[in-house]
Structure 1
Amino acid sequence: MNIHEYQAKELFEKFGVPTPKGRVANDAAEARAAAEDLGGANVVVKAQVHAGGRGKGTFKNGFKGGVHLVNTAAEAGDIAEKMIGQVLVTHQTGEDGKLVNKVLVAQSVDIAKEYYLAILMDRESRGPVIVASTEGGVNIEDVAEKTPEKILNERVHPLLGLQAYQTRKLAARLGFAGDQAKAFGKLLGALYKLFIACDCSMVEVNPLVLTPDGQVLALDAKFNFDDNALYRHPEIEAMRDPSEEDPREVEASKYGLNYIGLDGNIACLVNGAGLAMATMDIIKFYGGEPANFLDVGGGATKEQVTNAFKIILGDAKVKGILVNIFGG
């Protein structure tokens, strides 16, 4: 499950992660009011969709950019009016784009240096790992490919938690010293506490910024949560925005089905995630393209299987269905 940037800011504030002040707006009037409350000048208006590349995106109405720096409250309202209710296309949304229903109006920050910081679950070590880099504000995959030496990794023992020496080591390797190192340590400690308390599978801050006056702030964030732990967090479950998700995946989750839509035309219905992935590999090996990943689980009921077929057949691209059930 993912959440919007404004919701991420709410979690940051709750757990004490330093971040610029901001407010969500549902229309132009609310955007103007939010900008006025933040001082009017030097605020940023950001389209709220579950996709990266918003700043370089284009709306289908011709308006360019999903992130704009403005100097007056009136300008904030004008920009919001051009965004809300319009479809934003970025390199991550595909050509269909995503409908913008809200904008975030936040304080603009002077930036001396940008960094990358993330905490995620590492399958190899079976615990959290902190990933950091001095190359922030850019696609971290590009950094890993072109200059892998600039990617720092620090594994955290799941029982011992984040230790002070690990925070100091990361601060030093990122070039923080003195009060800056203390500010970074405080932010990282709060971020790790949030990661564990909310059962996150990933928290990514890109960019993490150092301001000219020495503040270390989380400027933008991306969250992923462990869907299997959401029953413990009804307040986070309430943040879910079904309009940002594939409606087939939303429907499948109602019946306890693990479904991910793909672009092919051969649908799969399988029991077991490993077998489902192997089935997709077989389809690819013989030149086909899978239309979905669908794991009905080991104890699927008649109702689950019936609804699984309904979801599959609701995909107009599907030309055939491969059912692969292991019965033991």
Structure 2
Amino acid sequence: MRLHEYQAKDVFADAGIPVPDSRLASSVDEVVAAVEDIGFPAAIKAQVHVGGRGKAGGIKIATSEEEAREYADDILGMDLKGYTVDRVLVEAGVDFEDELYVGVTMDRGEGRPVAMVSEKGGVNIEEVAAEEPEAIAREHIDPAFGMHPYQARKAVYGAGIDRDIARQVSSILTTLYDLWEDKDASDAEINPLMVTSDREVIAADAVLNVDDDALFRHPDLAEMEDEAAGDELEAKANKYGFDYVRLSGNVGIIGNGAGLVMTTLDLVDYYGGEPANFLDIGGGAKAERVTNALDMVFSDPNVDSVVFNIFGGITRGDEVAKGINEALEAFDEIPKPVVVRLAGTNAKEGMEILNTELVQVEETLEDAVQRAVENAKEVSQ
């Protein structure tokens, strides 16, 4: 479960991490009332689960009531990378002179949690990791003992953080790890962690993603689940019983098996495309299940093409093909080009059954992905 920024900040504040004064608002009048209470300047921030909100127009700084009203009217109701903004966080502006990054996640390669600190805050940390990996100090933690104080200090000094704020950053990093562990989180991060002109540090953003399977241990977080979902497609996924993650690309992906879907995502990226989602429909790709999957992918306005990657195991390939045909025949018009690749039991028979008036058929996964990427580029031009 992904918490919204305002929810994560409430959790962080309760744990002692400093956050700006803020109010949640869902109308222009509520925004104006909030900025009058908080004062100027004030940030108006869309509460949706996407990165790059600022560049997309989802975060604006108001210095007057007129600007607050104008920006609230612009942001509320806007489509932000496929999400409709229905709430904004109105937050006191921070007079900052530097932006840092702190985060905790699981390093699956090492099999241990890792704490990270960087002076390159305020930007996409994935890009920093890819282009300047040395700019991120990492400290692996033994979960049996938790984060020792010296480890927090080692990460902070390793990142080159100024000595006069090092103790504050170390304390926040330690608290962030404790939250990550206590809340059964998959990710906990602050980007940016702002350094004010008074040499104080404050969490200007907050990310906390919690393991769904652990929510029974956290009734307080479980209560936030409906609000945190905030996305019609993810609500549909829960209804249909799919494993689904929405991404920022335009190539829709449907597969039966997590490993199969992950491989497809990697190939889409390899061939120059951008995945729009992770969608695992599980075993037994019958017509109803395929129809539900297509309903989800076709409903995503970001999707320009779709690729099916199906492996027939216990479920035979010819049965899968019949399911795909029945599902597509239920649509009056196929809204996005669909490419299908079948493998496994009775795959050859299945490929022969597929209605090529409704789908494009490829024998290999590589060919199917390349064609889907090309389709997406043609549609988006």
User: For this structure pair, what is the TM-score category when the shorter chain's length is used for normalisation?
Assistant: 0.7 to 0.9
Q: Which consecutive unaligned segments of at least 5 residues does structure 2 have?
A: 299-303, 316-381
Q: Give a deviation string over 1:88-147, Cα, whole Å, max 9, x none.
A: 3xxxx2xxx432111111111111211111111111122211121111112223323332
The Cα RMSD (Å) is 3.5
Task: Name the counterpart of 1:140.
Answer: 125
Aligned to 1:175: 161
Mapping of 1:268-307 within 5 angstroms? 268=255, 270=256, 272-277=257-262, 294-295=279-280
Structure 1 residue 311: Cα displacement = 1.3
Match of residue 235 from structure 1:
220
In 2, distance between residues paired with 1:45 and 1:32?
A: 10
Quickly say closer, same or farther: Cα 1:70–1:291, change in 2 above 3 A: closer
- Is the Cα–Cα contact under 8 Å of residues 260 and 292 in structure 1 kept in the other structure? yes
1:129 aligns with 2:125: no
Computing the radius of gyration over CA atoms, which structure comes out larger, 1 or 2?
A: 2
Q: Is 1:204 the counterpart of 2:189 in the alignment?
A: yes
Q: Which residue of 1 aligns with 2:50?
A: 51
What corresponds to 1:3 in structure 2? 3
Matched residue SS, 1:19? coil
What does 1:52-201 correspond to in 2, within 5 Å? 52-57=51-56, 65-73=57-65, 75-88=67-80, 93=81, 97-173=82-158, 174-178=160-164, 180-201=165-186
Kept after mapping to 1: 8 A contact 2:253/2:278? no
Given the superposition, is the C-alpha separation of residues 199 and 319 from structure 1 closer, same or farther in structure 2, using an over 3 Å criterion?
closer
Aligned residues: 305
Paired AA for residue 51 in structure 2: G
Deviation of the 1:22 alpha carbon: 0.7
The aligned counterpart of 2:211 is 226
Residues 109 and 228 of structure 1: CA distance in aligned 2, closer, same or farther (over 3 Å): same
Higher normalized helix content (fraction of residues): 2
* Percentage of matched positions with identical amino acids: 39
| Structure 1, gaps ≥5 residues long | 58-64
Partner Cα separation in structure 2 for residue 281 and residue 146 of structure 1: 19
Amino acid at match of 1:68: K
Quick check: 2:103–2:188 contact (8 Å CA) kept in 1?
A: yes
Letter in 2 for 1:8: A
Whole-Å Cα distance in 2 between the matches of residues 310 and 225 of structure 1? 30
What SS does the aligned partner of 2:94 have?
coil
Greater RCO structure (CA 8 Å; 6+ sep):
1
Shift in alpha-carbon separation, 1:149–1:13, aligned structure 2, 3 A: same
Which one is further off, 199-208 or 217-226? 217-226
TM-score (norm 1): 0.79
Shift in CA distance, 305/196, structure 1 to aligned 2, threshold 3 Å: farther
Secondary structure at 1:54 match in 2: coil
Q: TM-score, normalized by length of structure 2? A: 0.69
